[in-house]
Chain A
């Protein structure tokens, strides 16, 4: 099939650790081992696993922030790690990233306008008036006002900051957003708003998500397909309904059994 937006084939990444002794070989850690996956346009793929399972390494390789030890990443048919620098920069406009911590991912000394419009100038060379127009459009899409463009990050709450980070990701009209734990740092009520927003944006713009989370319930809600990573390898993969209800791999079962408050999950919430 050629219609996949993101195609990852046999992706591996090894990191060399500091040498333990002068004459011994440096030990190597296999962060990702032979991972293959495909993501269709407008769909969402969840990656779950514990810390050290290779989730974030996968994200960095898909974003072409690091080179793989083996395998390739095809975005819209383009082999990201084989592209010359100028073409890679153009391809980067198609994939954007949202990070976990909205306090750490926004520069406190730059206005929202500078932050949100930066990818436009860097990746697409947009004019100032076009930057202004598209930044306002992106803010509107995430439920903030164009007047907020002149403000600084400290004037916003955590949930609003994450909206700004999402607006920055949306501004180049990407086909893929890699979201690495996008709601883990948010409060329960704010988390719900941001999750709803991400789903609304998908409906409106047809963007695909590569959604990395350690929170199974969030992935269950947002994703069409889930991959369970353990020690850099895919141990189980499938539709969340099946995978979370009838997990076959013992590791997936262990993850599900550890979710807190499973007694609560059975009760239906009452709305006031």
Chain B
């Protein structure tokens, strides 16, 4: 049994144009100590997947399929039951540390909150444990920072505090949604290294969400490429980058500016745009933008093709790509 088992997860949202399927059958497993990445562009459903795992979907969202954490079914749990899991079994790190932290409370109090709530620690114990956590995320001058407010810290330091909060109760699963997007490159590197180290030593599972192919290549063992609410390619990170079995993955890769391109090079672009949730086509959602699509691609949902062991492409043409 894996730590996290997501099976055919579907989410239907209420929009101004009626119901729309925002997640259309997402399945994956995550073991302890394993790192998995979700990559895709805005609106592909990567953050929605994270929200569904945490039971934080918007009002009126309908969830189908199954999410099991250590064998326990999470879909259908009521708010009170989800609350005991969030912050204790599932730790979360968000993109913008300034909005994730409460500006009016000290750092020590915010870390201590989940310790008091989930572990029932008294405030003195919680403070001692908070200090230990701040030292573990290597916040400089941790003892003084315990009484600092978020605005007195830099972006990277704030993200270390958010990570300390996420780790406070020793979660089984760490969900990090674009944890370094708001940070400078050098700080990004430090924070990613810190997360990798904590995941390795704590034996947690890490689900990392990012739009940055480079971050994925450096940070996760397996990755899932998402497009329009489905996983279009999944596999070991090295294998996905080596073969890129789905045309969308190739399009993303080619569109990426990278160091060393000649001045004035025009980047390859993906023509067209992502279909609206409310007008999702019958067949493959990428067909209208795909350079190798056939009539059959538009006729029905594409098959999951195993390109290699553990490496799957949701594409009729996966075997035909060079």
Measured CB to CB, the residues of A under 8 A from B are: 50-51, 157-158, 187-193, 195-196, 199, 214-218, 220-224, 240-241, 244-245, 254-265, 267, 269-272
Contacts and interface: CB of A to CB of B under 8 A. Distances in A.
B185 interface: yes
Contacts of A195: 257, 267
27 contacts: A51-B155, A51-B184, A158-B42, A187-B211, A188-B211, A189-B269, A191-B255, A195-B257, A199-B264, A214-B185, A216-B259, A217-B257, A220-B260, A220-B261, A221-B257, A221-B261, A221-B263, A224-B263, A244-B260, A255-B186, A258-B189, A259-B185, A260-B192, A261-B213, A264-B214, A265-B214, A269-B253
A265 B41 contact: no
Contacts of B185: 50, 214-216, 255, 258-260
Given A189-B270, A255-B185, A272 B213 contact: no
B217 to A, nearest CB: 4
A199 B187 CA distance: 30
Contacts of A199: 264, 266
Contacts of B214: 259-262, 264-265
A269 B265 contact: no
Nearest to B189: A258
B261 A217 contact: yes
Interface stretch (B17-25, B140-148, B195-203, B243-251): B243-251
Among A188, A196, A216, A263, residue most surrounded by chain B Cβ atoms (within 10 Å): A188
B257 A269 contact: no
B255 A192 contact: yes
Contact of B259 (A259, A267, A271): A259
Contacts of A261: 212-218, 258
Contact of A50 (B184, B265, B268): B184
Nearest to B155: A51
B319 to A, nearest CB: 13
Contacts of B153: none
B309 interface: no
Contacts of A264: 213-214, 217, 241, 253, 258
Nearest to B247: A272
A247 to B, nearest CB: 11
B218 A260 contact: yes
Nearest to A200: B266
B261 A260 contact: no
Among B187, B257, B263, B291, residue most surrounded by chain A Cβ atoms (within 10 Å): B257
Among A189, A196, A265, residue most surrounded by chain B Cβ atoms (within 10 Å): A189
A55 to B, nearest CB: 11
B218 A196 contact: no
Given A199-B264, A269-B250, A244 B218 contact: no
Given A265-B259, A270-B250, A272-B291, A192 B269 contact: yes
Contacts of A262: 214, 259
Contacts of A218: 257
A192 B155 CA distance: 28
B273 interface: yes
B188 A258 contact: yes
B138 interface: no
A251 to B, nearest CB: 9
B251 A272 contact: yes
B72 to A, nearest CB: 35
Nearest to B212: A260
Contact of B269 (A193, A221, A258): A193
A260 B252 contact: no
A263 B217 contact: yes
Contacts of A271: 250, 254, 268
A254 B213 CA distance: 20
A244 B261 CA distance: 11
A199 B260 CA distance: 17
B217 A192 contact: no
Contacts of B155: 51
B321 interface: yes
Given A220-B260, A265-B258, A260 B269 contact: no
Contact of A272 (B42, B187, B321): B321
Interface in B266-296: 266-270, 273, 290-292
Contacts of B186: 50, 254-255, 258
A270 B241 CA distance: 10
A217 B258 contact: yes
A244 B251 contact: no
Interface string B36-50: 000001100000000
Contacts of A244: 259-260
Among B189, B216, B250, B269, residue most surrounded by chain A Cβ atoms (within 10 Å): B269
Nearest to B213: A261
Contacts of A187: 41-42, 211
B184 A214 contact: yes
A223 B41 contact: no
Contacts of A217: 256-259, 261
B60 interface: no
Contacts of A257: 189
A158 B274 CA distance: 12
Given A195-B267, A215-B185, 18 more contacts: A50-B185, A188-B255, A196-B267, A215-B257, A220-B261, A222-B263, A223-B263, A255-B186, A258-B188, A258-B189, A260-B192, A260-B217, A264-B241, A264-B258, A265-B214, A270-B244, A270-B250, A272-B321
